[in-house]
Amino acid sequence: MAGSMLVRVFENRRMLGEAAGREAAAAIRALLASKTTVRIIFAAAPSQNEFLAELAAAKDLDWSRITAFHMDEYLGLREGSPQSFGSFLRESLFDKVKPGRVHYINPAADLEAECERYGRLLAEAPIDIVCLGIGENGHLAFNDPPVADFHDPLLVKAVTLDAACRNQQVNDGCFASLEEVPQQALTLTIPVLLSAKWLFCMVPGPTKRGAVTRTLHESVSTDCPSTILRSHGDCRLFVDTDSFGAVVW
């Protein structure tokens, strides 16, 4: 445990993703047993690949009763770009499981109007589950240290990405060079992410070792936004030996 956060460490990212997928599926089943609709926010990143594959393969989930959101989106990409987070989630999960409703962020719309529109959708009912990762700089969604606000009055906002965040996109293989990475994005804010009943946080790989260490041991502050996860009542952090450094079952 770290604060209120349950930490699970696995030998490799495949085992991490499979375990997280099974636990998330169990949580969704439990919610569907007591609610008409379950509302879930998903992260889009290579770190989520194994988790999303396991979740897509889960049995006996009534996806027609699930409303899905994604937590951020680049600005300035050409329409239909494979780097779009909406496209990533459509291919990795939504086209496979067919949620009842999927709300996509539209980066081509007027930014202020789009933030208000998506914020209204988020505010229609409580968020049940957030499936997220942690950035190399400790960001949550695109709430990098310079723009992160634990008490943000906004639900969705436009942000400028910092250098560490943009470099991560190259490290992840999403872009061939830093010059190709967009400089701006729309992101859900930290209070929205923390409002969910359950947080499932999947963070594999050696490039995340520093962020995981800071998340678990630094004082809670926006210098490393992910430290705030320790304050959530039910956040489950899934890491592997590359991102954590030891095996703990």
> Any idea which residue has 């300035």 for tokens?
76
Question: pLDDT class for 172, splitting at 50, 70, 90?
Answer: confident
Identify how many contiguous H helices and E strands the chain contains and give both numbers.
8, 10
Q: CB of 122 within 8 A of CB of 105? A: no
Average pLDDT, whole number, for the chain? 94
Backbone dihedral angles phi then psi of residue 123, each to the nearest 5 degrees: -85, -5
| Distance separating alpha carbons of residues 73 and 67, to the nearest angstrom | 18
Q: Is residue 106 part of a domain?
A: yes
For residue 241, CA distances in Å to 11, 209, 246 come to 5, 9, 5
Q: Is residue 249 part of a domain?
A: no
Highest mean pLDDT out of 79-83, 105-109, 127-131? 127-131
Q: Is residue 248 part of a domain?
A: no
Residue closest to 185 by CA, chosen among 213, 147, 216? 147
Q: How many domains does the chain have?
A: 1
Whole-number pLDDT of residue 175: 81
pLDDT digits (tens, 9 = 90+) for 25-61: 999 999 999 999 999 999 999 999 999 999 999 999 9
pLDDT digits (tens, 9 = 90+) for 108-164: 999 999 999 999 999 999 999 999 999 999 999 999 999 999 999 999 999 999 988
Question: pLDDT class for 249, splitting at 50, 70, 90?
Answer: very low
Backbone dihedral angles phi then psi of residue 116, each to the nearest 5 degrees: -70, -45
Q: What is the CATH number of the domain that holds 43?
A: 3.40.50.1360
Q: Is residue 49 part of a domain?
A: yes
Backbone dihedral angles phi then psi of residue 200, each to the nearest 5 degrees: -115, 115
Whole-number pLDDT of residue 246: 62
For residue 52, CA distances in Å to 94, 120, 161 come to 10, 26, 25
pLDDT digits (tens, 9 = 90+) for 211-226: 999 999 999 999 999 9
Q: Is residue 43 part of a domain?
A: yes
For residue 181, CA distances in Å to 32, 66, 148, 157 come to 39, 32, 20, 19
pLDDT over 70 (residue 186) = yes
Query: How many other C-beta atoms lie within 10 A of the C-beta of residue 74?
Result: 22
pLDDT digits (tens, 9 = 90+) for 190-209: 999 999 999 999 999 999 99
Strand partners, 128: none
Q: Is residue 125 part of a domain?
A: yes
Query: Which tokens in the block code for residue 125?
Result: 């009912």
Query: How many other C-beta atoms lie within 10 A of the C-beta of residue 225?
Result: 28
Whether the model pTM is above 0.75 = yes
Whole-number pLDDT of residue 50: 98
Q: Is residue 247 part of a domain?
A: no
| Distance separating alpha carbons of residues 18 and 128, to the nearest angstrom | 21
Query: Which tokens in the block code for residue 120?
Result: 């209204």
